[in-house]
Structure 1
Amino acid sequence: MFADRGIEIKTPEQIDKMRVAGLLVGETLELVRTSVRAGVTTAELDAIAEDNIRSGGGVPSFKGYSDPPFPASICASVNDEVVHGIPGDRVLAEGDIISIDCGAIVDGWHGDAAITVAIGEVPDDVAALMRVTEESMWRGFAAARLGGKVGDISHAVESYVRSQGDYGILEDFTGHGIGTEMHQPPNVPNYGRRGRGPKLVRGLALAVEPMVTLGTKRTDVLDDDWTIVTTDGSWAAHYEHTFTLMPDGAWILTAIDGGEAKLAELGVPYGGR
């Protein structure tokens, strides 16, 4: 059913179906992570991902999405490319970082997640950027409670990033609701104030995805009409998981373990099965 503002509220059975799609996304990203190395092209990573999604009974969410239609099954964004990089003949080199965004549809339900992976050794500031970005996502989950507001997540993401240094937080790209479509209301910004936005209720599924740079928050889109790059050439990291709130706590639908280990580390109740 749809609540106010067009927000889709799922039944417990539908959330279970989203977990199936989420697991396929999580497993695909882990497979791609292990395939990332110097000398591999981003198109080769895309082929690995698409094969795993389809052999797992899913359909890539991204392929053919929007206008112009996205031509691949993953987004592969390297170094100063923040999001929506199109896989192709680019060869990964030692010292690069690559953000891989992946979505899959199973039985009409979507999962969506992203990771950033270093190829070999990277400078300390780049390694810190990756750590801060990923941790900010988890701080967002840790701030989420039934009866709270979407802004509680946004505030937690921003507050953690700001506490760690002078980073750029993208404002033009946000997390989002997810379910029978990949992008649904509400938006989940990576900055904001507590107590603002739609209420966090049982059956709401959200994709939380901080995009953080070593410099500016300003971006340009390349001539392919998809790839988003920083205007100052600074490198960027991007992490994402799809999650929901259960009566006992958060359930990270695209994490292999449901997020149980990391939530425990943060002292947050785990609500998954």
Structure 2
Amino acid sequence: MRILLSPSETKSVGGSGAPLDLAALSLPALTDTRRTVAGALVAMCVDDPDGARATLGLGDSLAAEVTYDAHLWSSPTAPALSRYTGVLYDALDQSSFTRATRSRAESRLWIGSALFGLLAAGDPIPHYRLSAGTRLPGLGTLRSVWKPSLTAATSEWADDLVIDLRSGGYQQLGPVPGAVTVDVVTQYPDGTRKVVSHFSKHHKGLLARSLATSRAEMTDIPALLRVARRAGHTLEHDSATTLTMVTLP
């Protein structure tokens, strides 16, 4: 089973790993596209820092993010699962993993990225700033850059159960055919439901934690539902590729 997560705008700083080595990342078929996107990002930030701030949508308080991008090739790295922070990753709470649960999580978790396409949880990456909707000079939309290579790279997952918890923008960078998506809704006492927006990340993080750390092998939806329900989640199987996670207000 593979669980795909969205990245986060906020990231930890520093790290103890060697500088970025694209050849060391998972899904080596993405190396050329990663090099193209990374090269365009670094060049923009080195050659035109003010323009880079505007392109990346950064205010004065986040001006340092341009510097991080400019030093992408020389900055220390950290495992992707430790690099990303924010609501989803707080709920995932990877710092509390035992050695055994971390091993299971790292074998199942993947993280979408505007810079790297898709990352395995343990892939070493530096601090960076780049969002799915950014248009880098000379490249056009990141969707047009990533979609062909991501589609090809994930074609080998055709026989795997893939749970795609990425947000819409990151799903569009590289849809995975046959992947199961999860909608999060709140059900009120009168039975009405409302799609969860902001707290969707929190609930997806909790679900990802339960699935990623379980000792059970999940090769199909019924097995996944059993694990999720034992962990206290309410999931409904809407179609072959859609689940609904029901939460309370």
Q: TM-score normalised to the size of structure 1?
A: 0.29
Give the number of the structure whose residues are more often helix, by fraction.
Answer: 2
Highest CA radius of gyration, 1 or 2?
Answer: 2
Work out which structure has the larger RCO, using CA pairs closer than 8 Å and 6 or more positions apart in sequence.
2
Q: TM-score normalised to the size of structure 2?
A: 0.31
Give the number of the structure whose residues are more often strand, by fraction.
Answer: 1
